């Protein structure tokens, strides 16, 4: 009764629920500043979105979060992500951990601001 269309909204991936009209501030930053911003965001423990270029050349937009402990087994990683210029995040849509290449990061969106990373 009057709830038609609601299911489609809740079944859609979370990234589609972000409204671009809410993000009016665009800032250009360097790769070094992007790394610093992400390290700072690691302490905030809030969701953010980002876009990067994958190894195959395609672009990937992700709704992510740091400090998610779901599914961790305590063994740690077999490598240090920083050695490969990667940062590990939890992909909220895929419910899995992903490595993001910092050298191919295009933008990060957090707290109503989109930060474009210069080449």
Set out the domains of the chain in order of their start, with CATH numbers.
17-69+79-117 (2.30.30.100)
Within 8 A by CB and 6+ apart from 54, the residues are: 60, 104
31 φ/ψ angles, rounded to the nearest 5 degrees: -60, -40
Global pTM? Answer: 0.70
**pLDDT more than 70, % of the chain:** 67
pLDDT, greater one: 68 or 112: 112
Q: What is the pLDDT of residues 7-60, one digit of tens each?
A: 444 444 444 445 555 445 788 999 999 999 998 888 888 899 999 999 999 999
Contact by Cβ (8 Å): 103, 93: no
Q: Give Cβ neighbours of residue 39 (< 8 Å, ≥ 6 apart).
A: none
């Amino acid at each position: 009764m009057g709830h038609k269309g609601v299911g489609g909204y809740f079944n859609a991936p979370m990234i589609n629920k972000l409204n671009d009209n809410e993000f009016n501030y665009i800032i250009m930053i360097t790769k070094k500043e992007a790394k610093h911003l992400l390290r700072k965001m690691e302490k905030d423990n809030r969701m953010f979105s980002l876009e990067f270029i994958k190894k195959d050349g395609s672009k990937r937009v992700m709704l992510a979060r740091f400090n998610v402990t779901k599914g961790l087994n305590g063994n740690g990683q077999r490598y240090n992500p920083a050695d490969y210029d990667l940062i590990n995040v939890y992909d909220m849509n895929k419910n899995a951990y992903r490595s993001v290449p910092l050298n191919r990061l295009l933008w990060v969106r957090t707290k109503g601001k989109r930060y474009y990373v210069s080449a």
